[in-house]
């Protein structure tokens, strides 16, 4: 479905959900491009794409659903370690995502940590996605967004590569590198990502800054509400069938290593029909792991550890002789 550009352009939602904080001033959100200047009023920053980036993005369309395991198995190049809630009407999702720079070993591979907001059957899947990824070519951690309204076939794209997402923040360059990344057993960094429905649009907020929105008009099933929300990691293995890739997920360490070593999602929440964010564990988080000997995920019950809110650790190193041959 093509967006109707005669629609009103919203600069902000009509109201902010309870528990979500939005700054009244513009903050330089963890990106270094501001050192070279800033965008004039009424413009937005657009990152220059590399020549092969469009074809690369098409190659990495994340074809998967946890509701149809045969569908996921068919696209065996993709591996996942996620948690999800399913079966209700959801109007938003939120979490703080720990930032790392995992090693991506082979040409054409990718490592991702993200939130998925989903509705519809596999072949017509509607999804909004946001998080960070690392490609094999430059090994940089970048913030990204994605959407589709037909199961990743014809509609949708990464970042601002097609019509769809409407950016309203002129201090944030979608697709640009994230400067502050976590170090093993040392400093930890995360970013808060919130997606919620308002004004018949799906708004994206990073930390406490509104970035823009996906118009309701570009979707079919997500025009009303989401029925599934996922949080977790994904990698693309370019050579399935032989020795497993050494591409890492998250920090490159398994969940049982815990804080400072394993990558995490904290304060995992969904928005209900009343417009309030609630702890996702209230809906019963379900684990979806395609290859636990290589990558895994673990839900933590100690909600006060990060200042209340359910959190999970996820990730893994990929290839190892004893666990992931």
Q: Which pLDDT score is estimated for 17? A: 84
Buried b (16+ CB within 10 A) or exposed e, 208-227: ebbbbbbbbbbbebbbebbb
Q: What is the rounded radius of gyration, in angstroms, for the C-alpha atoms of the chain? A: 18
In residues, how long is the chain? Answer: 325
Per-residue tokens: 148: 């589709």
Tokens (6 digits) for 221 = 């099933």
CA distance 243 to 319: 7
* Interacting residues of 305 by C-beta distance below 8 A, sequence separation 6+: 259, 311
Distance in angstroms (rounded) separating the CA atoms of residues 102 and 110: 9
Collect all residues with Cβ–Cβ distance below 8 Å to 318 and sequence separation of at least 6.
Answer: 105, 235, 244, 245, 246, 247, 248, 249, 252, 294, 295, 324
| pLDDT for the residue numbered 77 | 86
Q: Which of 129, 161, 171, 281 is catalytic?
A: 129
DSSP category for residue 161: S
Annotated catalytic residue 321: no
The span from the CA of 275 to the CA of 257, in Å, is 36
How far apart are the C-alpha atoms of 291 and 229, rounded to whole Å? 21
| Residues sharing a CB contact under 8 Å with residue 15, sequence separation 6 or more, in sequence order | 198, 275
Residue 52, pLDDT score: 52
pLDDT the model gives residue 23: 62
Q: Which one of 79, 109, 171, 234 is the catalytic residue?
A: 234
The pLDDT value recorded for residue 93 is 98
pLDDT at 208: 87
Residue-wise pLDDT tens for the chain (325 aa)? 454 544 678 878 888 887 777 664 444 455 554 555 565 565 555 655 654 554 444 445 554 444 444 334 445 689 999 999 998 899 999 999 999 999 999 889 999 999 999 999 989 999 999 999 999 999 999 999 999 999 999 999 999 999 999 999 988 899 999 999 999 999 999 999 999 999 889 999 999 899 999 999 999 999 999 999 999 999 999 877 778 999 999 999 999 999 999 999 999 999 999 999 999 999 999 999 999 999 999 998 776 666 668 999 999 999 998 999 8
> Residue 85: which of 117, 113, 63, 61 has the closest Cα?
117
Q: CA-to-CA distance for 307 and 291, rounded, in angstroms? A: 31
Q: What's the pLDDT at 57?
A: 45
Alpha-carbon span 234 to 216, nearest angstrom: 27
Q: How far apart are CA 103 and CA 134, in angstroms?
A: 8
pLDDT of residue 55: 47
Q: Which residues lie across from 185 on neighbouring strands?
A: none
Q: Using DSSP, state whether 261 is helix, strand or coil.
A: coil
Based on the residue annotation, tell me whether 79 is a catalytic residue of this protein.
no
Name the DSSP class of 138. T
- Give the residue ranges of DSSP H helices in the chain: 53-59, 69-74
Q: Which residues does residue 299 pair with via DSSP β-bridges, in sequence order?
A: 312
């Amino acid at each position: 479905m093509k967006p109707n550009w005669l629609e009103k352009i919203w600069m902000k939602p009509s109201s902010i959900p309870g528990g979500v904080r939005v700054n009244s001033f513009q903050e330089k959100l963890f990106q270094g491009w501001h050192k070279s200047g800033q965008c004039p009023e009424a413009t937005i920053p657009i990152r220059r794409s590399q020549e092969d980036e469009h074809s690369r993005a098409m190659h990495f369309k994340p074809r998967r659903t946890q509701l149809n395991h045969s569908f996921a198995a068919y696209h065996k190049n993709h591996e996942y370690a996620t948690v999800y809630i399913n079966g209700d009407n959801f109007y938003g999702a939120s979490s703080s995502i720990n930032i790392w720079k995992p090693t991506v070993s082979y040409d054409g591979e990718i490592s991702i940590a993200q939130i998925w907001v989903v509705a519809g059957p596999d072949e017509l899947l509607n999804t909004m996605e946001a998080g960070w990824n690392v490609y094999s070519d430059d090994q940089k951690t970048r913030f990204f967004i994605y959407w589709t309204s037909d199961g990743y076939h014809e509609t949708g794209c990464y970042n601002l590569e097609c019509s769809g997402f409407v950016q309203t923040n002129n201090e944030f360059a979608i697709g640009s590198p994230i400067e502050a990344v976590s170090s093993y057993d040392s400093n930890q960094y995360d970013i808060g990502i919130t997606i919620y429905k308002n004004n018949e649009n799906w708004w994206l907020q990073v930390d406490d800054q509104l970035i823009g929105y996906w118009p309701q008009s570009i979707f079919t099933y997500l025009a009303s509400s989401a029925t599934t929300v996922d949080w977790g990691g994904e990698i693309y293995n370019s050579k399935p069938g032989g020795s497993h890739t050494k591409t890492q997920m998250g920090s490159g360490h398994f969940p049982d290593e815990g804080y400072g070593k394993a990558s995490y999602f904290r304060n995992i929440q969904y928005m209900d029909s009343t417009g309030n964010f609630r702890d996702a564990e209230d809906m019963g988080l379900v684990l979806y792991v395609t290859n636990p000997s290589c990558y895994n995920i673990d839900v933590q019950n100690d909600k006060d550890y990060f200042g209340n809110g359910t959190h999970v650790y996820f990730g893994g190193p990929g290839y190892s002789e004893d666990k992931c041959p």
